[in-house]
Each structure stands twice: as structure tokens, then as C-alpha cells.
Amino acid sequence: MDLSKKHNIHFAGNPHAGKTLVFGHGFGVDQQSFSQIIPAFEQDYHIILYDNAGGGQADLSSYSYERYESLEGYVTDLTAIMGLTRGTPATFIGHSVSGMIGVMAANRQPHLFDKLVLIGSSPRYLNDQPTSYIGGFDEVALKALFEAMQTNYEAWVIGFSPQAMRNADRPELADQFARSLQALRPDIALAVAKAIFFLDHREELPKVTKPTLIIQTANDIVVPPVVSEYMERHIPGSKRIKINAQGHFPQISAPGEIIAALQSFV
């Protein structure tokens, strides 16, 4: 299948720029989640936006439970998309699960990447008692999450959206996220959630050879601060910054903070 159609790929910015930015979105949103970020970089960068399989306007017929039961299918997709950068290594900006997809792709095909930016990303969401690793979730919590999604997806969306978005003084942001989740096919949403929440890619972190910026927000229900601290310790030479933003979607709720962080790094 045509890569552009499969992932609803869009190009923006300056096609003649010598530098490229590739934006990868997280669970429950799509490339539109970066719409407030893009204008700040359009003049100086060639920009590539895409939707992950199963999300946004990606071609649903290309979604396969087998291919995407782990992150490897997404890593293969991203490697193909990074091949569109016209031979120049690109800075990859990955939100949430796309951050780890970017890490894995950069470890496998380092020549395609220049730098990595990880926004609210995690190598493992599940607490791991033997290693005293804190991911933020235990098995009981995850079981309850999946049961809620399976039993009444609409009700789960209504409850989860404001928790993930935070910013209670701007309820329209949670409503926007809820609409994005409601646009997903519930069975695919559940499968993707399981692929994400059961992942464990801690072993990938020490292998990173690219300059890496880790962005942490306050009150992120999905990724507690201890996770970003763990990532900073285990990704060689990485830099972690805490921005003045609440919740799991700072590119939507605090775009100015993300723009400033990116400009200081790229």
C-alpha cells in the first residue's frame, strides 16, 4: 500500500530547508495534536506529519492485530516514514508511545535520525517489583482500565479524558480529546492500549546514541516524574526538562512551552 495513504502523511514547512522535523503522535490523538506547534517551525524546517496505524486518518484496512500487538510494527512504519526525509537525518519529536517508537527506530537505523525529543514518553508503564522500577501502574489498575474500555467504551472515554488532559479550567481541551478517542474503533483502541501499557523497552535506553531531550509535565496521569528521571539516568547524555504544563498533552494545552523547549534544543 502507498505509504502516504496508509499513514495520511502531510508535508509542511519549507521544502528547501536543509533540516527536517518529523512529528509522531501518542495514543488517542493524531497529527492534528501538533497543529499549534508547526507554525513556529515552518519557515526554517521541512516538516513531516503522519498518523499511526489504527489512529487518525490512517488507512484502517492496513491495521493488523498481529502486526501491532507490539511496538515492532510501528517501528517498521516509522523507519519507512523517516526514509522520506530526502537523505538528511531528521529530528524526531515523539509524543507518548511514539517517543519509544522513535527510540527503537533510531537504535535500529541511526543514520535516519539526528536528534530525539520525547514528550511524556515511558519505557514501561507497569511497576516492576523485582527491580523496584516505578512505572505508575500496577496490574490491578491496568486490568481495571482494560475492563472499563471493554465494558463501556463511551463511559471510559468520558472519565479518562479529563484525567489525562488535566487543565480543569479549560474543559474544552478534555472534550477535544474525548472526541478524538471516540473516533477510534473501540476494539482497535483496546488492542493499541494493551500493546502500549504492557510494553517493556527499558533495555533500549542505554543503546541511544542520538542527542535526546526528555520533556516532563506536572500531574501526568500516564507518566509520573519518576519515569522521566529514570529515562534521563539511562539514556546517555540526555537532557530532561520539566515544563510549566499540566497533563499528558502539553502540545495541546501548553504549545508555547513545547515550542520554547524545541527551539532551545533543535
DSSP 17-83: -S-EEEEE--TT--GGGGTTTGGGTTTT-EEEE---TTSTTS-GGG--TTTTSSTHHHHHHHHHHHT
Closest C-alpha among 24, 10, 13, 15 to residue 77: 24
The mean per-residue pLDDT over the stretch 36-56 comes to: 97
Per-residue pLDDT of 106-126, as tens digits, reads 999 999 999 999 999 999 999
The mean per-residue pLDDT over the stretch 202-209 comes to: 98
Question: Measured on CA atoms in the order 158, 159, 161, 162, is the torsion positive or negative?
Answer: positive
51 is an active site residue:
no
Query: 88 pLDDT exceeds 90?
Result: no
- Dig out the grid coordinates for 98 from the structure: 511514539
pLDDT above 90 as % of the chain: 97
Per-residue pLDDT at 86: 78
* The one catalytic residue among 25, 46, 220, 238: 220
Query: Looking at the whole model, is its pTM more than 0.85?
Result: yes
Q: d(Cα 168, Cα 185) in Å, to the nearest integer?
A: 27
* End-to-end CA separation in angstroms for the chain: 33
Per-residue pLDDT at 87: 81
Per-residue pLDDT at 217: 97
The mean per-residue pLDDT over the stretch 81-93 comes to: 91
Per-residue pLDDT at 10: 98
Per-residue pLDDT at 129: 87
CATH of domain 3-265: 3.40.50.1820
Per-residue pLDDT of 146-174, as tens digits, reads 999 999 999 999 999 999 999 999 999 99
* The one catalytic residue among 96, 121, 122, 180: 96
CB distance 139 to 126 below 8 Å: yes
Alpha-carbon radius of gyration of the chain: 17
* The one catalytic residue among 7, 46, 95, 248: 248
Q: Where are the domains of the chain?
A: 3-265
Per-residue pLDDT at 197: 96
248 is an active site residue:
yes
96 is an active site residue:
yes
- Dig out the grid coordinates for 9 from the structure: 502523511
CB distance 63 to 219 below 8 Å: no
